[in-house]
Each structure stands twice: as structure tokens, then as C-alpha cells.
Chain A
Amino acid sequence: MIKGSSDRIWSIIFILPSIILIGIFVYGFISWTGYVSLSEWRSLVPDYSFAGFENYLNLFKDFRFQADIRNTIFFTILFIGAVAIMGQLLAVLIDQNIKGESVFRNLFLFPMALSFVVTGVVWQWLLNPSTGVNLLLEKIGLSPKWYISTEVLFGIPIGKIEFGIPVAIIAIVIAAVWQMTGFSLAMYLAGLRGIPEELKEAARIDGASEWKLYRKVIFPQLRPITMSVIIIMAHISLKIFDLIYAMTGPGANYVTDVPALYMFEKTFRAQDYASGAAIAMILLISVAVFIIPYLLMNRRED
């Protein structure tokens, strides 16, 4: 009994420094950002007088921020969809006990070792409409405009913007998918390897075809992995900054702009700290919407 409680005290003492540091540097600064986002601090001179939700209201009325929301939504959907599907496909292919499996595995994983900035610069060159892959595509009569296109597919006017899929965002999705597919491949591969051989055997003995085996036995077993892939990719795509900053910037008519870019420019270029903080808070909330249900779900499972 006495030993137990002293253990407890020691464990608290050991964990205390990190709790204090996280308390100050994570949660403390989150609340500080929240406080600034409600203030009138719109120049280099701090002004903490209360502005209510004015900064937020102005943002939602702003053409650029509306475009940001649209871009983030479609970037997230296309990016997660492509990464999950391609990762699964490649994992299944690699799992076929092919020769040189580790070569392929490393090949697909390798882009992940690069920084998003490198990816951005390389794909900026590749997809440059006048010098990149178009030189090849022109030979078969195609000349897509990639990230300089200002077209919005299936656009319907909502607010100040045309709501639809901006063509330019597809170029960025390609670059992001190229980089992150290896990660989802690795996760799916781990998932596939985790499925006991007996299950597959049993299905085969029951006379299931290979396709049915995957559809009825293997894919359902991978569902938790898909969940994790979605969560991890969602928080990357919502917060994405470096890839777009290096590759296209905000783009003409803000077709490739995202909230993180706008936050950086509002804060450090326009010196509008209050609005910058407001964008940061909106980003935090949008990420939380994904993460918190996931954490709760995990807790229940444990």
C-alpha cells in the first residue's frame, strides 16, 4: 500500500516536467492564439482590445478565405481518396510474394524521405505547362494547363466564389499523392501481413475465389487501417503548407490557396496578427473535428 503510493508519487514527479511544458507551450499558446484572434491587433503595434468575432466574420466574407475552404475540401477528398486506393492496390500487389519485394517496397516508400519542399519544386518543373511533361503529352495532342489553369469544374456560385473542383488543385494532389502513397502502402502492407494465414486458408477451403477472398475476408480486415490512413492523411492535408508554398503559391485567382498559406501571409506579410490567429483557430478546429472522434474511438477499443 505504502509502496504503491510512493510509486505513484514518483511517476507523477517524472511526468510533471513534460506536463508543465506541454501545458505552457501547447495549450498555453493555443489559448493565447484564441485570445489574439478576438483582439484588434492588426499592425505591428499590439492592441488587445476586444473585437468579438469580427475577425472571423471578416474572414468568412473574404473571397480568398472562401476559396481556401473550397480548395481544402476538394484537396482533402481527392488526396485521401487517391492515397487510400493506390496504397491498398500497391500493397495487395506487393503482398503476392513477388520477387524483389523489398526493392519495390523501398521504391514506393522512398518519396516519403523527401521533404515536401523538394517534392513541390520537382513537380513544379514536371507540371510546368510550357516545359514539363507537356512536351511529351503534346505529341499525343494533349496540353493540359496543370496548376496555372483557373478553371473550376462543376462550378456553382456560392458566396463570392465559384464552388467546384479547381483544376489547378489536381496538379497538387498528384504531387502529394506521389509523396504519401508509400506511407499508406506501408500501413496496408502491415495490415495485410497481420491477417492470419488460417483465415485465408479457411476461405480457400470453403471454395472462395481469389476475388471473393479479398472482398469478403481481407478488405474488411483492413478497415481499421483505412481509418488510420484517413485520419493521418486528413491532418496532413488540412494543414498543408510547404508543398503548395514551394510548388505554386496561392495561384491566380487563389485556385491553389489554402488556409495555412493565407495565415502565413496575413500574419507576417500583412502584419494582421488578429486575423492570422483567427485562421489558425479555424484550422485547429477543423483538424480537431477529425482527430477527436478518432481518439475517442481508440479509447473505447482499448
Chain B
Amino acid sequence: MKRYGFLWMIAILLIGTMAACSDNSSSSSDGGSGGEGKIELFSWWTAGGESEGLQALMDQFKEEHPDIEIENAAVAGGGGSNAKAVLANRMQGGDPPSTFQVHGGDELLAGWVAADKMQPLNDLYEKNNWKEVFPQELIDMVSKDGNIYAVPVDVHRGNVVFYNKSVFEENNIEPPKDWNEFLEVAEELKSNGITPLALGDKNVWPSTMVFESILQANLGAEDYNKLWNGEIPMDDERVVKSAEMFKKVLGYVNEDHSARAWQDGSQLVADGKAAMNIMGDWANGYYKSKDLKPGEDYGWFASPGTEGEFQVITDTFGLPKGVENPEQVKEFLTVLGSKKGQDAFNPKKGSIPARTDTDMSKYGKYSTDTIKDFKNAKLTPSLAHGSAAPEQVVTKVNQAVNVFVTQQKVDQFIESLKQSVSSLK
């Protein structure tokens, strides 16, 4: 055995390295569930603009309530993939954070509300007169059976195309109004040696957003929603038409799309290597952080055929059951829903406020335009971000999209989509 001493040392070293590597993911979860006079604020806002927004919000709260301690318990990871796993563990284990970030719609309602883990906040809405200032569609996205379960803090738009202005000018191109026009424009760009559509779908959902935009154009906001509650079947001819259009559109994306994350896709437009990028308006925050000028370096338009419609992605915060200091958490939610709170948070995050009566002068050019659209447009929840359907369905649709992007077999795609929503009935 002696001659294997060296080997054993290596084995121990190896085990040690592995243990050390796997340790740091859990360390953020042992803060305890907001003990006396402490609020633990759980989110996945750790990147650029968003963490600054969160800090501004916490500063605002500290100013109004210096006696209550507030702690940032953010878990890094784009789209909340890691945060959601940590949250699920803590909620199942009976150790909820004081309040946590969750997308309005099914992610909240079919998830935590259905699991009976949330407390209704109707009294808070009454007290602050919030029913007057939040749009009804937004309140619907956080309500079930007459109870309101969360306070929306921001709104992002999903159906936006960002484009490189100088590329459009050089090629003498106008923003396309529908998807057929989009194809014509794309063909022209392609023949001039420019990638028409930038895509970074390493995490799949950016492709789902493209498909979602096409679906919405073909079905309209209302019927689009019916798709996700099972009233319209997936083999509806408009869905098939959309899948065929999606296939054509995929012919115009950059070849290395699966190696890129969403921001690497958006970067292609910034560099002028690609002309357009279908992305939620967090891309606006990204371009800003790269010192590009909105309206000069890059422009935007609603994705073809969805003008007058607004695909909503909203971040909300609620009150989980089993929290020790619900009154203090409600104080925080009050600040979160207040004009001051929303105006502190949103300009930094790059999103628009969920309230309709905020101070417009604090927002940049893109946001003021979007705030106007938000007031007038027809609102519809986004699938790719968990608002339109339960997570089980979203994951399966993402899976179907991921396969379709490579194989491009329409029949098979429709079949998988049908299977994804089969659990809804």
C-alpha cells in the first residue's frame, strides 16, 4: 500500500478541490429568514444597471425607515436561473426570504400562489390607493380569485427590435412593418454582406422570443394569450404559418448564434456587424452601458406586425407565508410601490415604472417613448419570461424551439408544441 502514498495524496487533493468548488453556491442562502427588524431582499439583480437600481431602491427605503435593517440577498445568474433554484429550496424548506423577485403572471400565480406560499396584499393596495395607479392588466398579472399577491416594480417590453442606425442608412432601408417586409429587408442586407438578424441563443430563450414575436404578429395579442390557456390549439393554421415564417427568419441569423449569450447577440448590432436584434428592452440598458446614444447610434421599433401591442415582462415582489416580520416587509413593499421608490429604481435599471403617474423627466429617450406606448398599447404577457404559462410549459416550449432551430422540421415542431401545452387542460 505504501507505494501508493503519492496517489492517495493526489486523491485527497482532488476531493479537496471539488469540495472547495462546490461550496460557494450555498453560502448566500444561510442569511436566515429575516429575523427581528431585518428585511432580506431576494433577487437576481447583480449585473450593471440592475444592481445600481436595487441599491437606489434600498437607499430610498433606508431614508424613510432608518430603524429597519435591509439586506441584499441577490443571487447571480442571468434570467434568475440560479436564483430560482435557491429560492425553490428555501421555500420548500420553510425558510422563505422576506420578499423575493418574481415575474408577474404564471411564474407567480401558477407557481408560488398555487403552492399556497404567498399572502394576499389587498389591504396594502387599498391603503395606498394602488388600484388607481397601476394598470388593470398589470394587477391582473399578480391576482388570483380576487386576491392581489405582489407589487410590480418595473415593466420591460419584449417585442422590440433594436437596429443599428448607420447600417440602415447605408443600405437605404426603412424599419419593416410586417414579417414579409422583414424578409425582403433581410435579403437585401444579406446580399450586402451584413448579418440581418443578430441572435445569441446559448440560453435558448432569445430564440423563443423571436418565435413569440412572430406568433404574436400572426395571432394578435388576444388570441396569442388563448394559445397559452389551451383555448386555441397548437395546430391552428396561424401557428403553423408562424413556424414556417420562423424557419425563414432563421435563415438570416448569425451562424455562431448558439455560442453567444443574449448580450453577445446585441453586441453584434452595436458593432455594425449585424443590422437588427429582437430583444427585450434590457438591451437598451446594455447599449447605454456601452456608451451608445439612443436614437443616434441605435434605434428601435416594435417587432414587425405587433405595433400597438406591448409584450409585458414585469418584476414583482410579494410577501411569502412564514415570514417573521410581515409588517416590516409591508413597509418595504409600500416604498417599492411608491412613486419615489419606482423613480429611484427604474431609471438606473433601464426599465419603465409600473405606475402610470411617475416623473417622466427622470427617464431617458427610449424609456419616455416606451412609457407612452405602455399607456396606449394592448398589453400581453410574455411566454419566454414565464408570464404567459407555467414554468413546466415554458421549459418544454424552449426545448421544442431549441430542437427546431437546428432541425427546422415544422411538423415535428408543431407536435412538440402540442405536447408542451397538453398539461394545461
| Complex CA–CA separation, A266 to B392 (angstroms) | 8
Q: With A42-B392, A64-B399, A112-B17 known to touch, is A253 a contact of B405 (CB < 8 Å)?
A: yes
A249-B203 in contact (CB<8A): yes
Whether B395 and A265, one on each chain, are in contact in the complex, defined by CB atoms closer than 8 angstroms, is: yes
Considering only CB atoms, which chain B residue lies closest to A46 in the complex?
B92
* Contact A269 B405, CB 8 Å, known A43-B392, A44-B115, A183-B14: no
Contact among A189, A253, A270, A271 with B403 in the assembled complex (CB-CB below 8 Å):
A253
Is residue B280 contacting chain A, with contact meaning CB distance below 8 A? no
A264-B88 Cα distance, complex, nearest whole Å: 12
Are B402 and A252 closer than 8 Å at their CB atoms? Answer: yes
Residue interface mask B249-266, A partner, CB < 8 A = 1: 000000111110000000
Are B403 and A187 neighbours in the complex by a CB distance under 8 Å? no
Cβ contacts under 8 Å, B114 to chain A:
43-45
Interface-side segment among B1-9, B303-311, B321-329 = B1-9
Select which of B13, B116, B258 is within 8 A of A252 by beta carbon. Answer: B258
Name the A residues within 8 Å of B13 (CB-CB): 112-113
| Residue count of chain A within 8 Å CB distance of chain B | 44
* Interface-centre pick from A186, A187, A252 (highest chain B CB count, 10 A): A252
Q: Does B12 contact A (CB under 8 A)?
A: no
Q: How far is the CA of A128 from the CA of B405 in the complex (A)?
A: 20
Contact B85 A268 (CB under 8 A): yes
Residues of B within 8 A of A250 (CB): 204, 402
**How far, in whole Å, are A169 and B114 apart by their CA atoms in the complex?**
40
Contact A269 B84 (CB under 8 A): yes
Q: With A and B bound together, what is the CA distance between A189 and B10 in angstroms? A: 12
Does B396 make an interface contact (CB < 8 A)?
yes
B38 within 8 A of partner (CB) = no
Main secondary structure of the interface of A (DSSP, over half): helix
Residues of chain B from 105 to 126 with CB closer than 8 A to chain A in the complex = 110-112, 114-117
B17, A113: Cβ atoms closer than 8 Å: yes
- Bound complex: CA A252 to CA B13 (Å): 35
Q: Do A270 and B405 touch (CB < 8 A)? A: no
Chain A CB within 10 A, most for which of B21, B114, B396, B402 = B402
The one of A117, A251, A272 that contacts B258, using a Cβ cutoff of 8 Å: A251
In the assembled complex, which residues on chain B have CB atoms less than 8 Å from the CB atom of A254?
A: 402-403
**At the interface, yes or no: B202 with Cβ under 8 Å from chain A?**
yes
**Complex: A186 Cα to B81 Cα, angstroms:** 37
> Complex: how many Å from CA A266 to CA B81?
12
What are the residues of chain A within 8 A of B259 when measuring CB–CB? 124, 128-130, 147-148, 248
CA distance A271 to B115 in the complex (A): 12
Scan A147-170; emit 1 where CB is below 8 A from any B CB, else 0: 110100000000000000000000
Smallest CB separation, A90 vs chain B (Å): 14
Enumerate chain A residues within 8 angstroms of B394, measured Cβ to Cβ: 270
B391 to chain A, nearest CB (A): 5
Whether a CB of chain A sits under 8 angstroms from the CB of B376 is no
Q: Give the residues in chain A near B84, CB-CB below 8 Å.
A: 268-269
With A130-B256, A269-B84: A44-B406 Cβ-Cβ less than 8 Å: no
Q: Which 3 A-B pairs have the closest CB atoms?
A: A253-B406, A270-B395, A268-B85
**Residues of A near any B CB (own CB < 8 A):** 42-45, 63-64, 109, 112-113, 115-117, 124, 128-130, 145, 147-148, 150, 183, 186-187, 189-190, 193-194, 242, 248-254, 264-272
13 further A-B contacts with Cβ under 8 Å, apart from A44-B115, A148-B256, A250-B204, are A44-B88, A112-B13, A112-B14, A113-B13, A116-B21, A129-B259, A186-B7, A189-B6, A194-B4, A249-B203, A253-B407, A269-B391, A270-B396
21 contacts between A and B (CB under 8 A): A43-B392, A44-B92, A44-B111, A44-B115, A112-B14, A129-B259, A148-B255, A186-B10, A187-B7, A187-B10, A190-B4, A190-B6, A190-B7, A194-B3, A194-B4, A253-B406, A269-B85, A270-B392, A271-B390, A271-B391, A272-B392
